[in-house]
Structure 1
Amino acid sequence: MPRLDRRGVLAGLAALGAPAIIARGARAQARQMSIATGTTGGVYYPLGGGLANLLSRSIPGLSATVEVTGGSVANLQLLGASRAELAFTQVDAAVDAVRGNDRFKGRPVPVRAIAVLYTNRMQAVTTVASGITSIEGMKGKRVSTGAPGSATEVMAFRLIEAAGLDRDKDFRARERLSPAESTNAVKDGKLDAYFFVSGIPTSAITDLGASPGVQIQMVDHDRYIPKIVEKYGPVYFPEIIPAGTYPGQKADNRQMSVANILAVREDMPEAEVTALLKTAWEGREELGRVHAEGRNFTLAAQKTAAAGVPWHKAAEAFWTAQGAKLA
């Protein structure tokens, strides 16, 4: 794995006020970095773990660790409170954070994109036994709309609204469970369906599909996208989860997607952003081995429209130097 130029790394650490110990080994004093990811049943967490290992191994004096969180909203709140330095997030949540909308009302976060990663897919998951074949068909059922502080919850609420349902009145019960908890609840007969936004495949849904006696059903919902985009902006787009992505998935799933970004605060020193990006970009093959979605971290994906929020100055310069056509 290529390593960073040592002088560039030390300059980045010095810009943060992290002292360097120039001794025989000329080693930089350890600097802690927290990476906000998501639940253990999704993609953010394992991919974040791979990134943390890569950064810690490749940047002298840096020790990166991952935080298990509810997801994008919680990650951006941690970023805003300076309790995390690097965050995985969906673009829709990042846009809300920058604008001070929804869960960030009155508390905008100075979020800046440093990289566009892979696509997150809205997955409306149930079983054939539930009889649910549409979002409207969830009325009167027991449904989980995602963990508190997750972008799943934000996106699920928007989808439920577009389908003409009331999230507080139209379900027999509405839980706020992680994907792993949701899968267990479905297997135990305590839940009929759940929403989860992630890359594919994700372990929690794979677990459900592979469970004895369970026939998984992925609910199509792409027809609601125009209505959602009309109200919330062009951050969502249609995609297909191919049949066979999950055990027992017999048909293509037509669903709503949103891009993921790596985000930092606007005030992160430029030298550090450059060091982080250089390491992640040169180690992208390793990230692809950690999870299949890591292979979708590409130069072509680095688009201003896909990022959704402003680029950090150093990230814009980095991608331009790599030959990305950002516009």
Structure 2
Amino acid sequence: MNVSPRSTTSRRAFLGMAAALPSLAVLPGCSNGSQRHRLTLASGPVNGPYAIFGKRLADVLERRGDGITLQVRTTSASVENLRLLGSGQADLAMGLGDSAADAVVGLGPFPTPQPVTALARVYLNYTHLVVASGSPVRKVADLAGRRVSLGAEGSGTAVVGERILAAARVSRPVRPSRLGLDESVKALANGTIEAFFWSGGVPTSAVAGLAQRMPIRLVPLDGLAAELSRAHGPTYVGVSVPAGTYGQRAEVPTVGVPSYLMARPGLSSTVAYEVTRAMFESRDNLPGPESPGAYLDERYAIGTGVVPLHPGAARYYRSVYG
């Protein structure tokens, strides 16, 4: 499906719109524990990067004593998370930027627009297309007719994988599997699949662990970010996995997609402000990728494209920018 690229909104416009909305100054009663805010965060698979980030954020919030308790719910990740957020079954959610943009406007896996907002652009994900080092697959087109894991059902990885296959104009359909990261790693190791997609920070520990057990290779995805942006909007950027990340000698061009921390629009503005503030003030205690990608940097955090910032988050950024 080809969609006209979505227009982006400037930092000034985001903060200006949010400034017109009311927000509370304090969390009433939080200092003495008389009022608590219990939130649910839709994260990702058990032991995955989103779930680990969510657990660390929950620990940070608990230690701060601001009256905010965070329950982390494991999921298949982005698409499921955004559906939970849109239906009000989650207060916060992790999600890939392209899936979040689809949710806002009602495209792809979202038949209607979802009521979702963003607290921050957290970090940049790198799309991995992993094969055994001896595989004949040298480019995406070589996947035609092969057994490929596109990512877990309901994950942002699956969305990216399907779009990459379409953008590369693979001549014959792949033989798809819907496996999460750990299952994909096991399946490649035992030969039941020939390749798998993964979208995450670099290095991703599960992929690095696989590289220690068997020689692997990343298939280059150069040029595809521009094609994806033309078809689906400007969320996609061209990036490279640094040399040596998984033992490879040279950097590997690929497609970058940002991860957002999302919130339901009805979340208290003050609670959203406090969660955003806690995240940035405690960034050294939160797990993030080692590669470049502006991890939890206020200068880039509001770059969420068509996904509107929550007013509470915008108030935090105004306090930082002055």
Q: Distance in 1 between matches of 2:182 and 2:148?
A: 14
C-alpha distance after superposition, 1:27-77 (max 9, x if no partner): 235543211111235421211111111112213433212122111111101
State the percentage of identical aligned residues: 31
Q: Distance in 1 between matches of 2:50 and 2:294?
A: 14
More displaced 10-residue stretch of structure 1: 74-83 or 224-233: 224-233
State the partner residue of 2:156: 151
- The count of residues paired between Structure 1 and Structure 2 equals 297
Q: Could you say if the C-alpha distance between residues 158 and 254 of structure 1 is closer, same or farther in structure 2, counting changes exceeding 3 Å?
A: same
TM-score by length of 2: 0.86
Counterparts of residues 12-161 of structure 1 (less than 5 Å): 26-28=32-34, 30-40=36-46, 42-106=48-112, 108-161=113-166
**Superposed CA RMSD:** 2.1
State the partner residue of 2:232: 232
Q: CA deviation at 1:308?
A: 3.6
State the partner residue of 2:9: none
Are 1:262 and 2:261 counterparts?
yes
Q: Distance in 2 between matches of 1:192 and 1:183?
A: 11
C-alpha distance after superposition, 1:4-31 (max 9, x if no partner): xxx82336x7xxxxxxxxxxx9323554
Instruction: Select 1:184's aligned residue among 162, 178, 186.
Output: 186
Q: Which consecutive unaligned segments of at least 5 residues does structure 2 have?
A: 1-24
State the partner residue of 1:200: 202
TM-score by length of 1: 0.85
State the partner residue of 2:22: none
The one-letter amino acid of 1:296's match is: Y
SS at match of 1:221: coil
State the partner residue of 1:20: none
- Tell which has more relative contact order, 1 or 2 (C-alpha 8 A, sep 6+): 2
The one-letter amino acid of 1:123's match is: H
C-alpha distance after superposition, 1:190-229 (max 9, x if no partner): 1110001111111221121011xx2111011121222221
Q: Distance in 1 between matches of 2:260 and 2:154?
A: 17
Q: CA deviation at 1:120?
A: 0.9
The one-letter amino acid of 2:232's match is: Y
Q: CA deviation at 1:150?
A: 0.6
Are 1:312 and 2:310 counterparts?
yes
8 Å contact from structure 1 (residues 35, 64) kept in 2: yes
8 Å contact from structure 2 (residues 151, 198) kept in 1: yes
SS at match of 2:128: strand
Q: Could you say if the C-alpha distance between residues 28 and 249 of structure 1 is closer, same or farther in structure 2, counting changes exceeding 3 Å?
A: farther
Q: Distance in 2 between matches of 1:39 and 1:207?
A: 17
8 Å contact from structure 2 (residues 142, 170) kept in 1: no
